[in-house]
Structure 1
Amino acid sequence: MPLPSDHPVSPLTLLDEWLVAIGAVKAGRAPEKKLTDGLAAMGLITVDDLLEHFPHRHEDRTRFDRFPNQPTDRPLCLRGEVTDAQQRFLPGRRRFFEATVEDPEGDVLSGRLVLRWFNMPYIHKLIAVGQELVIYGQPKQKGRRLVIDHPDYEI
């Protein structure tokens, strides 16, 4: 929504005034006050502050890492083929879904990862053997296997 023509906008315009002017919030209402207070707590007082605000981290998910053979200290973005997928059970009627992913273009030394999702019973309907997945998560050593719990994924 464009700003009204009679409203001067400068980088020093207060953020709460600007949000009201563009119609994003209504002045004086409690939810809007909570929003502007939250922005102020982050140090965002003026429009310029908002324009200069940058995220704390950037995750590049366009480049794929090599399959690891050991745990890493950072999350990885990987592409692999599902070679095994099944629902497993824990004591007390609890269950989880587990999928094994391998690098389809990898060599003999390429790693194998186990992906696990707990309390997400619908996952077994989405992921099947033979599918190619793009996964993002941090591998950890669990026994003799490398495991990523609750990875982000795309089919």
Structure 2
Amino acid sequence: MPLPSDHPVSPLTLLDEWLVAIGAVKAGRAPEKKLTDGLAAMGLITVDDLLEHFPHRHEDRTRFDRFPNQPTDRPLCLRGEVTDAQQRFMPGRRRFFEATVEDPEGDVLSGRLVLRWFNMPYIHKLIAVGQELVIYGQPKQKGRRLV
């Protein structure tokens, strides 16, 4: 829906004016000047420039891949059920949390992944057996398991 002609913001409004109009910044203050100068250095001068500015990559995490049976050359987005979760110890009293995730709708031959979190001692309170997780990353082979 197009904006009314008397609306204070149009796509051609300068970004510094727009930021002041919406109350995000106060006119003439140094931090705001630094922000608008940084945007201008990126070529973002008007509101339209900002709306047309796209990230350099996009990762679609709305579609889930099948569980792999071997390492892949690209990251995957998976949804699975936690079948095992426990804290483990390494030499020198260092701990890590490990959870095994399987495809709840998969067959006997579908893969399973072992997830590991290092230096996050609180994670065991957040992940429990039977919980469904959405995970993203590139699986690697460690021994006989995919990690």
Quote the Cα distance in structure 1 between the aligned partners of 2:16 and 2:50: 11
Asked if structure 2 preserves the Cα contact closer than 8 Å seen for 1:77 and 1:137, the reply is yes
- Structure 2 SS opposite 1:33: helix
Identity rate of aligned residues, in percent? 99
- Assess, with a 3 A threshold, how the Cα gap between structure 1 residues 9 and 125 changes in structure 2: closer, same or farther: closer
2:110 is matched with: 110
Task: State the 4+ residue runs in structure 1 displaced beyond 6 angstroms.
Answer: 1-7
Q: Deviations over 1:55-106 (max 9, x none)?
A: 2233332322100112222221211111111111222322111101111221
Quote the Cα distance in structure 2 between the aligned partners of 1:90 and 1:50: 49
C-alpha RMSD over aligned residues: 3.1
Quote the Cα distance in structure 2 between the aligned partners of 1:43 and 1:126: 43
Asked if structure 1 preserves the Cα contact closer than 8 Å seen for 2:100 and 2:113, the reply is yes
Asked if structure 1 preserves the Cα contact closer than 8 Å seen for 2:3 and 2:10, the reply is no
Structure 1 residue 124, shift from structure 2 partner = 0.4
Q: Deviations over 1:9-33 (max 9, x none)?
A: 4433321122112221012223222
Asked if structure 2 preserves the Cα contact closer than 8 Å seen for 1:65 and 1:77, the reply is yes
Q: Which runs of 5+ in 2 are unaligned?
A: none
1:131 is matched with: 131
Asked if structure 1 preserves the Cα contact closer than 8 Å seen for 2:14 and 2:45, the reply is yes
| Aligned positions of 1:71-150 closer than 5 A | 71-147=71-147
Structure 1 residue 5, shift from structure 2 partner = 10
- Assess, with a 3 A threshold, how the Cα gap between structure 1 residues 86 and 8 changes in structure 2: closer, same or farther: closer
Structure 1 residue 4, shift from structure 2 partner = 13
Quote the Cα distance in structure 1 between the aligned partners of 2:49 and 2:123: 41
Asked if structure 1 preserves the Cα contact closer than 8 Å seen for 2:77 and 2:136, the reply is yes
- Assess, with a 3 A threshold, how the Cα gap between structure 1 residues 3 and 64 changes in structure 2: closer, same or farther: closer
Quote the Cα distance in structure 2 between the aligned partners of 1:49 and 1:102: 45
- Assess, with a 3 A threshold, how the Cα gap between structure 1 residues 34 and 45 changes in structure 2: closer, same or farther: same
- Assess, with a 3 A threshold, how the Cα gap between structure 1 residues 92 and 43 changes in structure 2: closer, same or farther: farther
- Assess, with a 3 A threshold, how the Cα gap between structure 1 residues 74 and 42 changes in structure 2: closer, same or farther: farther
Quote the Cα distance in structure 2 between the aligned partners of 1:3 and 1:23: 19
Please report the TM-score for the alignment, with normalisation by the length of structure 1.
0.80
**Quick check: 86-95 or 9-18, which moved more?**
9-18
Give the length in aligned residue pairs: 147
